[in-house]
Structure 1
Amino acid sequence: MPLHTCPPPKKAINRWLKRYPSEVGNYGHLLLEQNGKCDDALIAELVGYFESAHADAREFFHAQMGIDLHPDAGAEGSQVTYPTCLPPITRRGLFGEVMAGMLTEHYDYIGGHNWKIPVFLFRYHEDAEAYLFALARDEKRKREVYGRRGSDFLALALNETGEVVRFIVGEAKWRKKLQRSVVDELMYGKKSKNPDTGKLEHDGKGIWYQVNRDIPVPHGLRQLQRLLREIDPEGYSAAIATLDRVLVVKDARPLPRTNLILISGGDVPSREARYSLIPWEEIPDDYTAPHDLQVVELILSDGDSVIDGVYDALWST
């Protein structure tokens, strides 16, 4: 199985996005606004990173399905290729997770750490595996796919000897229209009627709740360590050993952590340029976890075109 080895397309990102960064204490905020339209050149420059991000899961899922990575046209199961054939909503969720990685590897975040993504965790998307397995055997089995459980994104900061000195955990969300009510629902949970007051209130189970109550060592770290042991145990021996000391239940050694929240989606007319939907002047009161926090707002004017263009182009040759 392949590691993720493609660097972010720096020139394309700088041409595509205009950035507005800020830092206050242990809080970093980065507003990114689209600068220009999506075109074939941009898609071509983004595709390589997305192929690298999905490469491990692609080999894994195709082996599980029992079909070739590059099935001949008309061959049994040839209509099923990961991740291209996944439903549109699922592809948009994956887009947000890959963008979390691309932006983390490209921009400077709070603390100035050099983040590395050895491999994305997409092979642990159990419902996608079940969906693809059935679809390869029955073309009528199309349906929506549940999202992957656990952390959307993980990256490591390594020292000169390859040991892990810090990790970053990300929540990445995509919404077609990033208006205030949509972002509030993401951050504070869905609304329902309070039986006592009769008013609509958020249920408090949004991103702030998830980030604040996450355990110090998320399950995704074990999944990442398992993949490193399988794919490149020699190259990542020091990182694997570090995670061994962190992941034990008793007498675990704590490891510094950064939390990442990426909100991405389409722009709306009511939002003015350079206007952030999450406060940037100081760390939000809603954040109570003890770790550094980095928030990224990715505002796109034609996000659907970018997503469909990239995912339709993956492994097209």
Structure 2
Amino acid sequence: MTLHNCPPPKTALERWLKKYPSAINNYGHLLLEQDCDCDDNLIADFVAYFESAHADARAFFHEQMGIELHPDVDHSEVHITYPTCLPSITRRGLFGEVMAGMLTESYEYIGSHEWTIPVFLFRYHEDAEAYLFALVRDEDRKREVYGRRGSDFLALALNDEGDIERFIAGEAKWRKNLRPSVVAELMYGKKKKNSGNEKLEHDGKGIWFQVNRDIPAPHGLRQLQRLLREIDPDGYSVAIARLDRVLVVKNAQPLPRTNLVMISGGDVPSRESKTSLIPWEAVPEEYTAPHDLQVVELILNDGDNLIDGVYDALWAI
């Protein structure tokens, strides 16, 4: 198992995206709009980062599946691999989570913290593991895959001694078309009829609800600690010890936190350039958590081409 050790492709991001950042009090907003078409060069620039993000889960899942990844082993009969063989909609969800990491490591967020991602948490995607285990034994077992539970994304701000000063926890969502109605459903929940009212109303179970009610130390921190203990217990000994004090049930030491909300997807003709889908002038009134908030909107013109191009190219050589 390996740590995530690939720096983000900042030069490619600068070529690909235009940025419109803002910061007000404890609220940061970053609008990113696609500025050049997806091509083979852009895909190639992204491959190493995506491979690094998925490397731990790939090794873990392939071991669970019974596939040997050693370079000397003949892979000619292996057709089912992670994450390439996951369903299209699942790969789009993974894309959003990896992009949350890439952008967090590349752009300045609220508070100007330097964020690092020791390892992505993809190995805890239980339904992907079950799906691939069955698929490698019966290629007719294709189906949709449920998403991974818990925080979509975690990163740490470490000091020079390796101690954790703050963590960032994020919800990262991909939608093919980012119409206002789609974004409203993401943020406020699905529409349904209330009793005695024929009008459809949001059920209030969207991203704002999830972020506001999240516990101070989410389960993802325990998952991250387990991975650090397994992969590099010496290199991250100080961070592991801090997490021990943060995750204890009684008398836990609170850890400063930043919340990240990232929505990514395809642009629509009705949206004008430089127009955000989530208000940026002030902290959204729906946000009631006590932590700093960073919102990122990634608006793309040919995101499907990029996603398929990148995931088809992973470990292709």
Give the TM-score range, shorter chain.
Answer: over 0.9
- State the partner residue of 2:89: 89
- State the partner residue of 2:295: 295
Distance in structure 1 (CA, Å) of the matches to 2:74 and 2:148:
29
- State the partner residue of 1:34: 34
Letter in 2 for 1:264: S
Report runs of 4+ in structure 1 exceeding 6 Å deviation.
none
- State the partner residue of 1:181: 181
Distance in structure 2 (CA, Å) of the matches to 1:167 and 1:184:
27
Distance in structure 1 (CA, Å) of the matches to 2:286 and 2:108:
24
Distance verdict in 2 for CA 1:73–1:253, change over 3 Å: closer
Letter in 1 for 2:216: P
What are the ranges of 5 or more consecutive residues in structure 2 without an aligned counterpart? none
Letter in 1 for 2:63: A
SS at match of 1:157: strand
- State the partner residue of 2:161: 161
- State the partner residue of 1:16: 16
Shift of residue 72 of structure 1? 3.9
Indicate yes or no: 2:195 matched with 1:195: yes
Distance in structure 2 (CA, Å) of the matches to 1:262 and 1:72:
40
State the percentage of identical aligned residues.
Answer: 77
Distance in structure 1 (CA, Å) of the matches to 2:137 and 2:286:
47
- State the partner residue of 1:228: 228
Higher deviation after alignment, 139-148 or 61-70: 61-70
- State the partner residue of 2:267: 267
Indicate yes or no: 2:112 matched with 1:112: yes
Q: How many residues align?
A: 315
Distance verdict in 2 for CA 1:6–1:287, change over 3 Å: same
Higher deviation after alignment, 64-73 or 270-279: 64-73
1:219-248, Cα deviation, whole Å (9 max, x unpaired): 000000000000000000000011111000
Distance in structure 2 (CA, Å) of the matches to 1:72 and 1:175:
38
Distance in structure 1 (CA, Å) of the matches to 2:139 and 2:187:
37
- State the partner residue of 1:80: 80
TM-score in terms of structure 1 length: 0.98
Shift of residue 182 of structure 1? 0.1
User: What aligned pairs does 1:111-150 form with structure 2 within 5 A after superposition?
Assistant: 111-150=111-150
Aligned CA RMSD, in angstroms, stands at 0.8
TM-score in terms of structure 2 length: 0.98
1:145-204, Cα deviation, whole Å (9 max, x unpaired): 000000000000001100001000000000000000000000000001122121000000
Indicate yes or no: 2:285 matched with 1:285: yes
Distance in structure 1 (CA, Å) of the matches to 2:197 and 2:123:
45
Shift of residue 10 of structure 1? 0.7
Letter in 2 for 1:81: T
- State the partner residue of 2:240: 240
- State the partner residue of 1:256: 256
What are the ranges of 5 or more consecutive residues in structure 1 without an aligned counterpart? none
Indicate yes or no: 2:46 matched with 1:46: yes
Shift of residue 74 of structure 1? 4.6
Shift of residue 73 of structure 1? 5.3
1:69-121, Cα deviation, whole Å (9 max, x unpaired): 3774552xx11100000000000000000000000000000000000000000
SS at match of 1:106: coil
